[in-house]
Chain A
Amino acid sequence: QKLCRKTVEFMHRQLIMLYMVAACRAVAINDLLDRASERSDILHSLSTTLSHDLDSQFPPIGRVIMPRPSMCHTASLQTPIDKYQALQVSESDLLSLARSLLQAWEDPLAVLSTSANTLPHPAQSSISNKIQELQEHSKNLGDGLDILSGKMGPAAQTIASLPYRGGNDIGEDRISKLINFNFLLSCFRRDSHKIDSFLKILRCRAAKMQPEMC
């Protein structure tokens, strides 16, 4: 009976600890998620603006021969395609997806940045600046998500590898340069939206005590 009682006490204590840990973690995660959501929001907004800037001067022929989005290098990553599916993904998986996507764009953004310097476009300088901002925000978000994943358990740590195989050169002639640049940017725009959506779902889920967050 003593042993029973001790076990119960131990269990009790563990539960309390878990609860406390969970509570502690919850508070911290909330803030972290909030910050991450904000940054992903900015990231996507920037990419949208950039796409619009590029589209305004895009040659009409480019739309026709532009590669399809299914040819994005991150297309292989399985992501939810509707709300029902998205809401069923676990928090860890959501975070893992976000981190994988973010990680996948580290190299392509660098390529975009270098090619933006020689982009044959009237708004070249503005585009170049924005690409640099994108890189900055992306890095910050990546760091934040790394911290988050540390708090959310081992399942959040897995990152899918999505290598970019486009190489450093995005094209030879002006048209192909523009087309490839636009294509890459559209891929990034979608992926940034995915990241943002996942993080916001996570934020809402984590903010059970603060319903006004959602």
Chain B
Amino acid sequence: MMKKAVELVLLLLLLFFTPHIMGKRYSPPGKPTLTRCRSPEKETFTCWWEPGSDGGLPTTHALYYRKESSERVYECPDYHTAGENSCFFNKNDTSIWVNYNITVVATNTLGSAFSDPVDVDVVYIVKPNPPEKQTVTIMEDKGWPFLRVSWEPPQKADTRSGWITLIYELRVKLEEENEWEMHLAGHQKTFNIFSLRSGGKYLVEVRCKPDHGFWSEWSSTSYIKVPDYFHREKSVWILLTIFSAFIFLILTWLLHMNSRSLKNCILPPVPGPKIKGFDNQLLKNGKSDEIFSALMVSNFPPTTSSNYEDLLVEYLEVYVPVEQELMQEESKDLHGGCLKCERSTSDSDSGRGSCDSHTLLMDKCGETKEEGRHTDRASSRMLTEAQRHQKGWEKDTLTYAHGDMVSPDMSNGRVKTWPSVFSPLPQYSSNPLDKQSSLEMAKQHCLSTSSCLTQPGHSTKEALGPSNWDFCLGNKQPHLLHPQTQVGRQLQAHSEVNISNIGRKQAPAGLQSPALRSTEYVEVQRVNEEDLVLLQPVVSGCGRIEGYPQMPKGKDYSKVKGVDSDNMLLLQREVMEEDWCPGVDQEINGGTGNCYTSSTVNTTQKPTACIHTAMPVQGDMALAMNGYVDTATMCTLPTC
């Protein structure tokens, strides 16, 4: 109380006197503020304040405090220990669990200023000193180094009696880094740091905190350098090898997975023949019906074309001893033609009569003879035709075939000549073996487009369809023909038989049979504007036993020179190219002619006869003779 009264008097005096003395503009001091109070060990504490403006005059500050349970005001016992603008409370003046009401007063001559009072309880303002005696050492654990950090609690903090309980925290970083790595150590006073960089320099700092207080400042930094060690390098190499092995495994696996596609890329597979609609499985099963039905295209033959080709009916089987070409033609009128032919069977026209002498009759029911250039289309066409006619003619053909085969007497029924032109002489005098082989060859030719069916087995042949057989069997002996044409014969078979018969008959003419010669087929190409039937011979492979189809070496086009009064086509053969087969005699060529079968374009009822011309050829094959269909003529030449 006394102190306070004295202070007040002093203040008043100052207030009165100062303005008179100075004469300047001075003011009372500004209000100070208590910034903070801290206790490092819960036994003493210090308070700091911030003075306000001094008002231009020397200002003094005083700190006054009051404890909670009494009204007594105390002044700060120690202004110096803790520095400027501070008040240090020593142990004697410090009480815990007691509220201190602290005020700072700034005083100058003009006045004083009181700070705002602050309530302080010492136990709540504890901030210890940083830990001391910090040591960092390098230790080894199975060859791997680690840092061991140890420290002591701050000296002033009494942790041993349990007065203060501290928890610690440390932080580590490499010298060149910016980020610290924090570790909470709890109550313990040692800590291990692992995962060190070889040869790195580390900085370590520690701090502590009482259980209900503030964190201390960081301790002074400890530096430590980690020595180099080889394990790190070793581990790197090990990792590298493992990694590369792993990648290698992955690559191998990928390669294995994509081996097929790689193989295709590097070694592309050889494409096999692919026929649209053809199924290998069906082939293996041996059911040719299904196969060929699959091959058949519904809208085939094309109905849209409207050229003359469609009007032409048949396949002309032309046997050319020199060229050995086959021509083939297929027309849609086949059907109609065939029907007509059929009808004509009962006709007792002269055409029939000529047939009695084994003349070849023109037959509209031609079927494609495929040799050499056999195509799928041809075979399918042929098949369709064959199947179309099959029913109607089976019986007929059969009988005819038989009849023909048995005897050369052609009086019974017409012979539906398959438009195959034979060279009668050489072929028919050939030995059976040749004929057999030629038969084979022919068959093979026929079958070239149907994959792999070159078996001479009866069943397969029959399975293929009668039509196939028919033209293939062009130059067969009757007895050879017999077993094959038993089922579903086409009329063409008859014609061929006829041809063969005719050929045989010609044999006594003295012509030597050459080596194997197969039938040549002439295909009626088209009829051009001049009413010329252009025939295209199809090569049947001359002299080759293996039976591979030959590409036509040359083409003979037979032009229809005209149609005579009897509605017979007069054909004119033109030889484009020579292809002399080995073993073919000049004589033969000369002796042989081409048997042309002509088809009447105008849907004649008359069967057409195969004209067998045996004009001597004088070296060059440019035959100028006109092959025309005339049964009488035919008859006269070979047999009649």
Residues in chain A within 8 A of chain B (CB atoms): 41, 44-45, 48, 68-70, 79, 81-84, 86-87, 190, 193-194, 196-197, 200-205, 211-214
List residues of chain A with CB within 8 A of the CB of B97: 79, 81, 190, 193-194
A193 to B164: give the CA distance in the assembly, Å: 12
Chain B window 74-104, contacts with chain A (Cβ cutoff 8 Å), 1 for yes, 0 for no: 0000000000000000010011111100000
List residues of chain B with CB within 8 A of the CB of A214: 159-162, 165
| 9 shortest interchain CB distances as A-B pairs | A204-B162, A201-B162, A81-B95, A200-B162, A70-B69, A214-B162, A70-B68, A83-B163, A69-B99
A200 to B187: give the CA distance in the assembly, Å: 13
CB neighbors of A among B275-296 (8 A): none
Q: Which of A48, A82, A86 contacts B91 (CB 8 A)?
A: A82
CB neighbors of A among B139-188 (8 A): 158-163, 165, 187-188
Closest Cβ of chain B to A202, distance in Å, is 8
List residues of chain A with CB within 8 A of the CB of B577: none
Chain B window 544-572, contacts with chain A (Cβ cutoff 8 Å), 1 for yes, 0 for no: 00000000000000000000000000000
Given contacts A69-B99, A193-B212, 6 further A-B contacts (CB under 8 A): A68-B68, A69-B68, A82-B91, A83-B96, A83-B161, A203-B162
A1 to B68: give the CA distance in the assembly, Å: 67
A196 to B163: give the CA distance in the assembly, Å: 10
Number of interface residues of B (CB under 8 A): 24
The verdict on B435 contacting chain A, using a C-beta distance below 8 Å, is: no
B91 — nearest CB in chain A belongs to which residue?
A: A82
A86 — nearest CB in chain B belongs to which residue?
A: B163
A190 — nearest CB in chain B belongs to which residue?
A: B97
A128 to B160: give the CA distance in the assembly, Å: 38
List residues of chain A with CB within 8 A of the CB of B187: 212-213
List residues of chain A with CB within 8 A of the CB of B325: none
CB neighbors of A among B21-73 (8 A): 42-43, 68-69
Please determine whether A68 and B162 come into contact, CB atoms closer than 8 angstroms.
Answer: no
Instruction: Tell me the dominant secondary structure on chain B's binding face.
Output: loop
Q: List 9 A-B contacts (CB under 8 A).
A: A41-B212, A48-B212, A68-B99, A83-B96, A83-B163, A190-B121, A196-B212, A201-B163, A214-B159
Q: Which of B43, B161, B188 contacts A82 (CB 8 A)?
A: B43
Contact A83 B211, CB 8 Å, known A69-B68, A193-B123, A214-B165: no
A41 to B91: give the CA distance in the assembly, Å: 25
Please determine whether A205 and B162 come into contact, CB atoms closer than 8 angstroms.
Answer: yes
Please determine whether A196 and B211 come into contact, CB atoms closer than 8 angstroms.
Answer: yes
Contact A82 B94, CB 8 Å, known A201-B161, A204-B162: yes
B70 — nearest CB in chain A belongs to which residue?
A: A70
List residues of chain B with CB within 8 A of the CB of A79: 97
List residues of chain B with CB within 8 A of the CB of A211: 160
A213 to B69: give the CA distance in the assembly, Å: 36
List residues of chain B with CB within 8 A of the CB of A201: 161-163
Please determine whether B165 and A81 come into contact, CB atoms closer than 8 angstroms.
Answer: no
Contact A81 B163, CB 8 Å, known A70-B69, A193-B123, A193-B212: no
Closest Cβ of chain B to A79, distance in Å, is 7
CB neighbors of A among B412-458 (8 A): none
Most buried by B among A44, A48, A86, A197: A197
Please determine whether B162 and A81 come into contact, CB atoms closer than 8 angstroms.
Answer: no
Most buried by A among B96, B121, B188: B96
List residues of chain A with CB within 8 A of the CB of B161: 83, 87, 201, 204-205, 214
A69 to B123: give the CA distance in the assembly, Å: 15
Q: Which of A45, A81, A204 contacts B160 (CB 8 A)?
A: A204
Closest Cβ of chain B to A66, distance in Å, is 10
List residues of chain A with CB within 8 A of the CB of B158: 83
B187 — nearest CB in chain A belongs to which residue?
A: A212
Chain B window 178-204, contacts with chain A (Cβ cutoff 8 Å), 1 for yes, 0 for no: 000000000110000000000000000
Please determine whether A82 and B96 come into contact, CB atoms closer than 8 angstroms.
Answer: yes
Closest Cβ of chain A to B70, distance in Å, is 9
A201 to B163: give the CA distance in the assembly, Å: 6
Please determine whether B69 and A83 come into contact, CB atoms closer than 8 angstroms.
Answer: no
Closest Cβ of chain B to A111, distance in Å, is 23
Contact A45 B212, CB 8 Å, known A79-B97, A82-B95, A190-B121: yes
A41 to B187: give the CA distance in the assembly, Å: 14
Most buried by B among A202, A204, A211, A214: A214
A86 to B122: give the CA distance in the assembly, Å: 15
Please determine whether B211 and A87 come into contact, CB atoms closer than 8 angstroms.
Answer: no
List residues of chain B with CB within 8 A of the CB of A204: 160-162
A211 — nearest CB in chain B belongs to which residue?
A: B160
B69 — nearest CB in chain A belongs to which residue?
A: A70
A45 to B124: give the CA distance in the assembly, Å: 12
A202 to B212: give the CA distance in the assembly, Å: 18
Closest Cβ of chain A to B185, distance in Å, is 12
A30 to B165: give the CA distance in the assembly, Å: 16
A200 to B163: give the CA distance in the assembly, Å: 7
List residues of chain A with CB within 8 A of the CB of B96: 81-83
List residues of chain A with CB within 8 A of the CB of B163: 83, 86-87, 197, 201
A64 — nearest CB in chain B belongs to which residue?
A: B117
List residues of chain B with CB within 8 A of the CB of A203: 162
List residues of chain A with CB within 8 A of the CB of B42: 83
List residues of chain B with CB within 8 A of the CB of A205: 161-162
Closest Cβ of chain B to A42, distance in Å, is 11
A163 to B91: give the CA distance in the assembly, Å: 33
A68 to B101: give the CA distance in the assembly, Å: 11
List residues of chain B with CB within 8 A of the CB of A83: 42-43, 96, 158, 161, 163
A140 to B99: give the CA distance in the assembly, Å: 29
B92 — nearest CB in chain A belongs to which residue?
A: A82
List residues of chain A with CB within 8 A of the CB of B162: 200-205, 214
B158 — nearest CB in chain A belongs to which residue?
A: A83
Please determine whether B94 and A212 come into contact, CB atoms closer than 8 angstroms.
Answer: no
List residues of chain A with CB within 8 A of the CB of B91: 82, 84
